[in-house]
């Protein structure tokens, strides 16, 4: 492997891990806070302050940037894997094309392919609902919707309500997402250690 590719792969893995660690921290905040954005049973002043604090630590505020970090981390890990295998990467956010390359490289029975594919193909219900509401069909469109409030082509405004106010359903989704990104990281580390 060429030293430049090795160095580039490592830089992708480092940045991917930073996005993943941020996502993990935020998912744990969402889980441990109880994903509540209300102050039921408190005095009016306490309720208002409690609601503000809860909203700041719930899916009302944190989930959209959190899920973006998950997807960004995974995309960077995939691109790092390609570089690790001396495959030049293209400037794209269409991860389905990159996943095909991972499948070709590692095979459909490999742990890396299975974990990455599971993350993208078997999304949690609130993500599926968000995609349906906004007529999102590709990963690139999903990334755009998580980064911008409107579609770049036709300026259609995205609707985010499906990603908010999910209470306990949200908590279960956050736990599932956390398990999936941890499994991807473990598979990546295993492959990285084989190469070095």
Mean pLDDT of 56-72: 90
pLDDT digits (tens, 9 = 90+) for 81-99: 999 999 998 887 778 889 9
105 pLDDT higher than 90: yes
Question: And the tokens for 158?
Answer: 């995205």
Q: Give the residue, 184 or 60, on which the prediction is more confident.
A: 184
Mean pLDDT of 179-195: 90
In the structure, what pLDDT confidence band is assigned to residue 118 with cuts at 50, 70 and 90? very high
Question: And the tokens for 38?
Answer: 């209300």
In the structure, what pLDDT confidence band is assigned to residue 116 with cuts at 50, 70 and 90? very high
131 pLDDT higher than 60: yes
27 pLDDT higher than 80: yes
Q: Give the residue, 37 or 61, on which the prediction is more confident.
A: 61
pLDDT on residue 49: 53
Gap between the Cα atoms of 19 and 14, Å rounded: 9
46 pLDDT higher than 50: no
Gap between the Cα atoms of 171 and 126, Å rounded: 11
Gap between the Cα atoms of 6 and 86, Å rounded: 8
Q: How many other CB atoms are found less than 10 A from the CB of residue 28? A: 13
pLDDT on residue 33: 87
| 157 φ, ψ (degrees, to nearest 5) | -80, 135
Mean pLDDT of 154-162: 92
103 pLDDT higher than 70: yes
pLDDT on residue 40: 47
pLDDT on residue 192: 80
Average pLDDT, the chain: 87
User: For residue 19, what are the contacts with CB-CB under 8 A and spacing of at least 6?
Assistant: 69, 70, 72, 73, 76
pTM listed for this prediction:
0.87
């Amino acid at each position: 492997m060429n030293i430049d590719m090795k160095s580039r792969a490592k830089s992708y893995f480092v940045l991917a891990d930073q996005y993943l660690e941020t996502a993990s921290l935020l998912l744990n905040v969402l889980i441990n806070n109880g994903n509540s954005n209300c102050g039921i049973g408190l005095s009016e002043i306490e309720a208002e302050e409690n609601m503000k604090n809860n909203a700041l630590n719930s899916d009302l505020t944190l989930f959209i940037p959190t899920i973006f970090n998950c997807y960004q981390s995974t995309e960077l890990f995939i691109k790092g894997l390609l570089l690790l295998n001396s495959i030049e990467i293209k400037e794209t956010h269409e991860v389905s094309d990159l996943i095909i390359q991972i499948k070709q490289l590692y095979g459909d029975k490999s742990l890396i392919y299975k974990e990455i594919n599971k993350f993208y193909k078997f999304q949690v219900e609130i993500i599926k609902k968000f995609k349906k509401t906004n007529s999102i069909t590709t990963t690139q469109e999903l990334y755009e919707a998580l980064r911008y409030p409107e579609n770049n082509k036709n300026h259609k405004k995205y609707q985010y309500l499906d990603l908010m106010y999910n209470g306990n359903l949200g908590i279960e989704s956050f736990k599932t997402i956390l398990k999936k990104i941890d499994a991807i990281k473990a598979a990546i580390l295993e492959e990285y250690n084989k190469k070095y």
